[in-house]
Amino acid sequence: MKIVHKDESRIFQNSASCQVSEYGNIAGEMSVAVARISGRYPDQGFALNEECSEAVYILDGAGLLGSDDGAEKLAAGDCIYIGKGERYYWEGSFSALISSAPAWDAGQYKNII
């Protein structure tokens, strides 16, 4: 068992519309973060993770998840699975809990314009 307290998290401002509280590699095999979206992220194009699959739970608010297949509405209580290599973007005003496996690393992430 491992606990990561809020004051141990790292806060990143990925863009004007995306702030992330990262709780890091919590178990050697996964990582957890809370993202706050207020607009569109990324600003243009798509995000893509080459190594991680992500389970995302919308904590509050509402918005859209865009992909190559179009955009789907999201609201508090919705859960999303994003497989590694899938292109996506977020848009709206919401907070989301994101669990990544294997553990997320900035080197795995790409912004596709």
Compute and round to an integer the Cα radius of gyration of the chain: 13
pTM: 0.92
Dig out the tokens for 80 from the structure. 């999303």
Average pLDDT, the chain: 93
Q: What is the pLDDT of residue 22?
A: 93
pLDDT of 40 over the 90 cut: yes
Per-residue pLDDT reduced to its tens digit, 79-89: 999 999 999 99
Domain 8-112 has CATH 3.40.50.150: no
Alpha-carbon torsion (39, 23, 29, 108), positive or negative: positive
* Confidence band, pLDDT 50/70/90 cuts, at residue 71: very high
Question: Which residue is it, tokens 């709206």?
Answer: 92
Per-domain residue ranges of the chain: 8-112
